[in-house]
Structure 1
Amino acid sequence: MTLLSSVPTTNEPLVLAGKKPRRWPYWVGGILLALLVVLGVALARLDPWLRRTLEKQVARQSEGRYQLRIGELHTQLLTGTVRLRDLRLRPAAADSCWQQTRLPRLLADVRELRLSGIGLWAALRGSVVPVDTVLLAGARLRVLRLPPPNPAAQPLHEQLPQHFDGLRIGYLGLRELQAAYGPGRVPQASVRQASFSAHDLLLSAAGAADSQRVGYAAAWAGGLRRGVMTVARHRVLVGAAQFASRRQQLTVDSLRVRSLDAMQRQGKVVRVHLVLPRLQVGGLRLTALRSRQLRPDSVVLTRPWLALALPTQPPPPLHEVLAPYLRQVQLGQLRVRGGTLHLTAIKPQPRIQDIRLLADNVLLTAAGAQDPSRIWYAKSWELRTGRVQTTVSAPVYWLGLRSIELLTRTGRVQATGIMLKPTMTPSALARYKGHQTPHITVRAHALQIAGFDFAAFARRRSLLAEQLRITKMRVLIAGDGRFALNPKASLVTQESLAKLAVRLNVRRVQLVNAYVATSYIGPTTGRPGYISFNRINVTLRNVTNDPRLMTAATPMTAQASGWLQNSWYATAAFRIPLLDPAGRHSGQGTFGPASITLLNTMTEPTRLVRFESGNVRRATVRFQGSRRQITGTMQAEYSDLKLTLLSKNGGPDQKTLLTKLGSKLLNGIVIRDENPRGLGPDKLKVGSMESRRDLRVSVFSLWRQGLVSGLLNSIGAPKKVARHISEQP
């Protein structure tokens, strides 16, 4: 009760004993009220004043070349936010006023520009001004003219107001941007929709010097849809693209490039048609671009379709093309998945399908081109393809392959499903050439090269390999003797290998289980004859035109075996010094046993000679050939040999009275019906092989001539007669 009674009961303010209450003068409140009124009026007029100031500033800084109109401007000082809407920038000067300026000439419309989190206190102090967000949305930009590059232009951070140390933007975003470049009705480049963003953008000297930043930003991201441009007479269309520096990845979808010039003829520069569904670049470090280097971890092209029209003159090396733009380009891995390539402006017009390519550590610089450990700029290449189609000696032959495999690390090359076929009949081909021409059809199961020196091929165009192996090859050769011989020297000779413009060195060449069939239309009969060689195996060693390896003591050697008409076994061996200027070479072979009637499929329709009977036990041939002739011997052991002369215009059996009489005289007087006659080695008639060489025919024809002359002489024909018959086409 005592405590309660001591509490004052009046409504007067409680004042400490000995002090009087402090009273503010009434005029102080008036001043505060007036300040608030003035501040409110100032804030109300700030936005219009700031809008007018910005518009005047643009006109003043551009020297009257630009006019800026701002639809709305709102500020919130407490939050440091500025919002602008409906911005419109237009050129305000005549065209002649733009010739002496570094400013671009453009038109721009911006739906909204918002700046938030502006550090006003830092701006007043002149330090680095922080800005939380700068967002530009709904912009449409048309660039009519770009100024020439200005090497003396100041960096962007040096163009800020001098009392600022810099500007730091937490997030910079451009959304729904439409842009176009070019003064014409159809722009040279345009983007239907694009978005870009930058994180932690530091516009200052420190930001420019920071090696972890690119364009002052710690991270960039962006994307676009429907980008179109015209570059170097090519129209480029990008369906969509996305990039993020933090993921270090660039993805481009639906890239198309189309030449504005015809692809069927060559020009001064490369012409391209490209359809690329997807391009992916991984490990793309923007920081490397600061020193003009591009070093992504991987570049992947998915299902590209590429048509190329190569230029009339070889283009410069790729590293020289890139040098003005990038000091170094290095790809960790280049991969192509399911590509197609078509070369359109050259006569072969090759087409390659289902290309699968992998290149490791590609360095596109002069050092990369000269590095002995690299091949075509890369440490290694792996190439696998599907079907390959092209023409050979266009338009005479068509070449197709089922697949190709190429591995540079192991020196492996393989082609499967090989097919070479003429595009016209033998007679049409001869008429097209104007002379006799072999009509060749080739099929092969596989061609394999082991130990191929890709580096020598890339740098010196040398063909160096340990082994070449062809399996299950089928060759059909058709000829038409009714046409004149080719006036030019034949290329199917050992001399042609010696004259190759490239260095050739294959240690071993193998032909496994091959088949060769020939047909020939006789010049007098007009009928085709046929003969075949089956189960052929051939091994060549020291196939080279290197003078250090190809000498008389170390020539190219060949061993061959096979079956004539699938019934007559034969073996042969050859020694051929490819660099001998006289074309000297030698060989030997054995044949038999078999019936000589196997030759009738060729002799009857083309020579009008039929072997009625004759059993060959064994035949041995030794010869020496040159650019002038072939000589040698033939030892043929046979029995019961009978020939019949035929007539082109005879009856059902192709015989006339004259041919019957000639056959009796031939068998009774000239032909030696068996060899040897009687017992002892002296009874064996050795045929003399002698025939002059016509350089217009192949070396295989020379060997055939020798066999014919030796066979005819061994069965009784005089040497001159045998030689004359052998030299007939």
Structure 2
Amino acid sequence: MLEEPPRVQRPPKWLRWVGGILVGLAVLVVAALLLLDPWLCRTLEKQVATQTQGRYRLQIGELRTSLWHRSVRLRNLRLRPVKDERRWSDTTALPRLLANVSQLRVSGVGLWAALRGQVVPVDTVLLTGVQLRVLHLPPSSATARPLHQRLPGRLAGLALGYVGVQKLQAAYGPARRPQASLRRADFALQDVLLTAAGAADTQRVGYAKAGQLQVAGVAGRAAQHAVALGRGQFSTTTGRLTLDSVRIRPLRPQGLREKLPKVDLRLPQLLLTGLRANELARRQLRLDSVLVEAPQLTFTPPQQPPPALYKLVAPYLRRLTLAHVRLTRGNVRVAGVNSRPTVRGISLTGTRLRIDQAAAFDPTRVFYAEAWQAHTGAVTARVSAPVYRGGYDALDLDTRPGTLNVRGLLLVPTMSATGVNRLKGHQAPNLTLRLPQLRVVGLDFAALDLHGSLLAQQVTLSRPMVLIDGDGNFPLNPKPSIVTPERLGRLPLRLNVRLLTITQATVRTSYLSPASGRAGTLTFNRLNGTLRNLTNDPRLMSAAHPAVARASGYVANRWRADLQIWLPLLDPNGAHWGRATFGTGPITVLNSMTEPSRNVRFASGNVQQATIQFRADRQGITGTMRARYSDLKLTLLSKKGGADHKTIFTKIGSSLLNGLVVRDENPRRDGRDLKVGQMDSRRELRVSVFSLWRQGLVSGLLNSIGAPKKLARKISEQQ
């Protein structure tokens, strides 16, 4: 007998209904997911058109979403402006640009917050392979709402954990010749709060807590210059900005001064540390340090002096402070000016700079800084071009103690004295100066910066050599000389040097006589001197408290002389007075000057002592010379004579001169009857005060040895 098979138990009817419903829902979800990406793609494209008022069209090559991972990935995005020119006007606040994005990935989207209209958290937003070309920028007056106010839909804001852009290329301007270009940029932002609160947070930079930027291959044109940057890096976390291989070059040739300055700069590296980018929104910038490495600069200044630095900064920053500034191994050349200076080996350090109007006029600061230290190598320049070239080997300064040290200072003429006089059309001294060391102590750099005043405690000139050449074949300068006490007192700058010291100086003068056609020379050796109270400050300068000059040295290295002069520099008549003493020496040392210039030779003569006292002003010089000498004999020379310039007439004249006029000794052998020479010579305002002193010396000497006073005066006044 066969058994009946067991019956298969069917599920309850209600369960079949539930299963059917779930299967239906699953089919609907799959269908929805399949339709979500196209719908979202169309929505984004419409949203761009709406937000830009139809000016832009967005094309998305591919869009994939993942609800499970709360992410969306877009590929091959293309943003293009519409060709309808009516939609673009000069007042449009949007830039006109073309953009391609290889990939945009958004992950970790807070969907529930988005549905509820809250601030939406997003873990990551990453753009890769961005190509951007800006065709036109809106006018500067065009304003737009802040970014957080332009979010689409009901979004209250975005909280982005990470925003990154990788492999960005950009250009601005026409395709063939863009005004600016960027070969590559990569940047990342962390903790971006795109809300009103994020915009108001002063600790954020552009809504972000932190950010990093790297750029390479930046090039552009601005203000008639081409600008290029090899690489640049910046991090808001460290506040460190590095620019490598900066290159700026003018688009027009150097040398011709125009409205704008011209800058040709090669800068291997510029490093800024402690940059607080969040303060830029408040128009403030603080930096811990600015380091400039080995700049090579050629600069042509503009036709008109530029405004003060604080005025240039003011439109962009209310305050700019730099704790430390350092420049190393710099070279600078200035073109477009007659002096054409070149400075090599510049090292510069500044401490606690503040660039604003208050700091510009702060008497405790020097060019906005509390202190500067500087060193330069060789400097060359043209002086009174094209007459001289000058420079020095090295310079060191420190503004805090007020010290300045210059080594190897040099000033040499580029032409002969005759060439200088021919160029100027009148007599002008041809000067050569070699100064191994110039040292200044107690220099007020702040007064020099603010007012152009020269205030110092002590100035020392060590072992200077001065050569002065002249040519008497040209007329005198029609203008009054500037080398006079009264002109020194009327300098347009405030002058106050408490002590000027000169050690071991050598001065040689040379003068080409028009009478003989030969140059007479005279040398002063081993000169040491001081000048105290060198000032034009009325509170310090008066007849009771004049400048006092003291000097001692040797004439032709054989005849000692000591000099003291009192100079009240503010006396309108140029009054001053002094005394000098000459020791034992042969008077024949003067022959190197008297033979070529006066055709007179001292055949013999020994001076035991000579004392001079004089007073001088704008009218002339007067005084006395007490000279004790012996065995004095003169010889007259003829320009057309033989090898020794003697003729029968000069021999007869010499005998008569020595027998009838010249006192061969002073005093006479009995020790009495000391002939006191009277100094009396009128002043020629077109020559320097040194020439006036020489005139007085000549007139007193000639009168002392027997020449009548009027004759001595006439001879002394011959230029």
TM value normalised by structure 2? 0.96
Map 1:245-324 onto structure 2 (within 5 A). Answer: 245-324=236-315
In the alignment, is the contact (CA less than 8 A) between 2:202 and 2:279 conserved in 1?
A: no
How many residue pairs get matched? 712
**CA distance 1:62–1:155, change in 2 (3 Å):** closer
Name the counterpart of 2:421: 430
Which residues in structure 2 correspond to 1:37-48 (within 5 Å)? Answer: 37-48=27-38
- 2:486, 2:573 within 8 Å by CA — same for their partners in 1? no
Structure 1 window deviating more from structure 2 (98-107 vs 290-299): it is: 98-107
Match of 2:400 among 405, 409, 412: 409
2:190 is matched with which residue? 199
Q: Do structure 1's residue 84 and structure 2's residue 74 form an aligned pair?
A: yes
Q: Matches of 1:101 and 1:717 in 2, distance apart?
A: 97
| Alpha-carbon contact 1:145-1:183 (below 8 Å) kept | no
Deviation at 1:488, TM superposition (A): 1.2
The Cα of 1:687 is off from its aligned counterpart by 0.8
Q: Which residue of 2 aligns with 1:3?
A: none
276-285 vs 232-241, which deviates more?
Answer: 232-241
Q: Which of 537, 547, 550 is the aligned partner of 2:541?
A: 550
- Aligned counterpart in structure 2 of residue 29 of structure 1, from 19, 22, 44: 19
Q: Secondary structure at the match of 1:394?
A: coil
Aligned AA for 2:707? A
The aligned counterpart of 1:486 is 477
Q: Secondary structure at the match of 2:571?
A: coil
Partner of 2:229: 238
Describe how 1:371-520 pairs up with structure 2 within 5 A. Answer: 371-520=362-511
Matches of 1:278 and 1:93, distance apart in 2 = 44
TM-aligned CA deviation for residue 24 of structure 1: 5.3
Amino acid at match of 2:703: N
Residue number in structure 2 paired with 1:177: 168
* Residue 208, structure 1, aligned to residue 199, structure 2: yes
Alignment of 1:628-643 (within 5 A): 628-643=619-634
| Residue 704 in structure 1 maps to residue 694 in structure 2 | yes
Distance 1:347 1:551 in 2: 39
Distance verdict in 2 for CA 1:53–1:715, change over 3 Å: same
Contact 2:327 2:346 in 1 (8 A): yes
Query: What is the distance in 1 between the residues matched to 2:433 and 2:266?
Result: 34
Counterpart of 2:39? 49
**Contact 1:66–1:93 (Cα < 8 Å) also in 2:** no
Question: Which whole-Å CA distance do the structure 2 matches of 1:625 and 1:661 have between them?
Answer: 38
Give the drift of 1:55. 1.9
Kindly report which structure 2 residues correspond to 1:61-140, keeping only aligned pairs within 5 A, or say none: 61-99=51-89, 100-140=91-131
How large is the Cα RMSD of the aligned pairs?
1.8
- Distance in 2, matches of 1:278 and 1:101, equals 39
Distance between the aligned counterparts of 2:203 and 2:478, measured in 1? 73
Partner of residue 3, structure 2 = none
Is the 2:388–2:412 contact (alpha carbons within 8 Å) kept by the matching residues of 1? yes
The answer on whether the counterparts of 2:60 and 2:77 sit within 8 Å (CA) in structure 1 is: yes
Correspondence for 1:582: 573
Deviation at 1:345, TM superposition (A): 1.9
- Give 1:540's aligned residue: 531
- Contact kept in structure 1, 2:239 and 2:275, CA below 8 Å: yes
Q: 1:196 to 1:210 in 2, by over 3 A?
A: same
User: Which residue of the partner structure matches residue 703 of structure 2?
Assistant: 713
Partners of 1:96 and 1:578 in 2: CA distance? 78
Q: How far off is 1:510 after superposition?
A: 0.8
Q: Does the aligned pair in 1 maintain the 2:243–2:271 contact within 8 Å?
A: yes
* Higher alpha-carbon deviation: 530-539 or 118-127: 118-127
AA matched with 2:94: L
Residue in structure 2 matched with residue 604 of structure 1 by the alignment: 595
- Residue 427 of structure 1 and its aligned partner are, at CA, apart by 1.3
Match of 2:582 in 1: 591
For the Cα contact (< 8 Å) 1:551–1:579, is it kept in 2? Answer: yes
Instruction: Give the AA of the match of 1:390.
Output: A
How far residue 183 of structure 1 moved from its aligned partner, in angstroms, is 4.1
Paired with 2:499 and 2:479, the residues of 1 have a C-alpha distance of: 31
2:629 and 2:666 in contact (8 A); partners too: yes
Query: Does structure 2 retain, via aligned residues, the 8 Å contact 1:168–1:201?
Result: yes
1:531 is matched with 522
SS at match of 1:126: coil
Letter paired with 1:350 = P
Post-superposition offset of 1:661: 1.0
Identity of aligned residues (%): 54
> SS of the residue aligned with 1:25?
helix
CA distance in 2, matches of 1:482, 1:373: 53
Using the TM superposition, name which of 160-169 and 22-31 deviates more. 22-31
C-alpha displacement of 1:162? 5.2
Q: CA deviation at 1:426?
A: 1.4
Tell me how far apart the structure 2 counterparts of residues 247 and 128 of structure 1 sit (CA, whole Å). Answer: 29
More deviation in 436-445 or 339-348? 339-348
1:498, distance to aligned residue in structure 2 (A) = 1.3
Where structure 1 has 5 or more consecutive residues not aligned to the other structure, the ranges are: 1-10, 14-19
SS of corresponding position for 2:629: strand
The one-letter code sitting in structure 2 at the alignment partner of 1:157 is H
Alpha-carbon distance, 1:262 to partner:
3.6
What corresponds to 1:618 in structure 2?
609
Matches of 1:702 and 1:380 in 2, distance apart?
A: 45
1:456-475 residue CA offsets vs partner (Å, 9 max, x unmatched): 22222221111111101001
- Tell me how far 1:153 sits from its aligned partner: 3.0
The verdict on how the C-alpha distance between 1:184 and 1:544 changes in structure 2, with shifts beyond 3 A counting, is: farther
**1:685 corresponds to 2:701:** no
* Equivalent pair of 2:677/2:703 in contact (CA under 8 Å): yes
Residue 563 of structure 1: aligned partner: 554
- Equivalent position amino acid for 2:275 in 1: L
Give the CA deviation at 1:149: 4.1
Quick check: 1:64–1:93 contact (8 Å CA) kept in 2? no
For residues 180-233 of structure 1, what are the alpha-carbon distances to aligned partners after superposition, in whole Å with 9 as ceiling and x for unaligned? 112474222111111111011111122222222111101011011111122222
Deviates more, 1:40-49 or 1:638-647: 40-49
Paired with 2:528 and 2:199, the residues of 1 have a C-alpha distance of 72
Kept in 2, the 8 Å contact 1:68–1:87? The answer is yes
Q: Aligned partners of 1:173 and 1:60: how far apart in 2?
A: 26
In 2, Cα distance between equivalents of 1:613 and 1:364? 71
Runs of at least 4 residues off by over 6 Å: 20-23
Partners of 2:86 and 2:493 lie apart in 1 by 61
1:281 to 1:12, Cα distance in 2 relative to 1, 3 A? farther
Alignment pair present for 1:572 and 2:585: no
Q: Secondary structure at the match of 1:683?
A: coil
Q: Which residue of 2 aligns with 1:338?
A: 329
- TM-score, normalised to structure 1, is 0.95
SS at match of 2:595: helix
CA contact (8 A) 1:641 1:674 kept: yes
Report the alpha carbon displacement of residue 251 of structure 1 after superposing the two structures with TM.
0.2
Cα contact 1:295–1:331 (8 A) shared by 2 = yes
Partner of 1:16: none
Amino acid at match of 2:626: Q
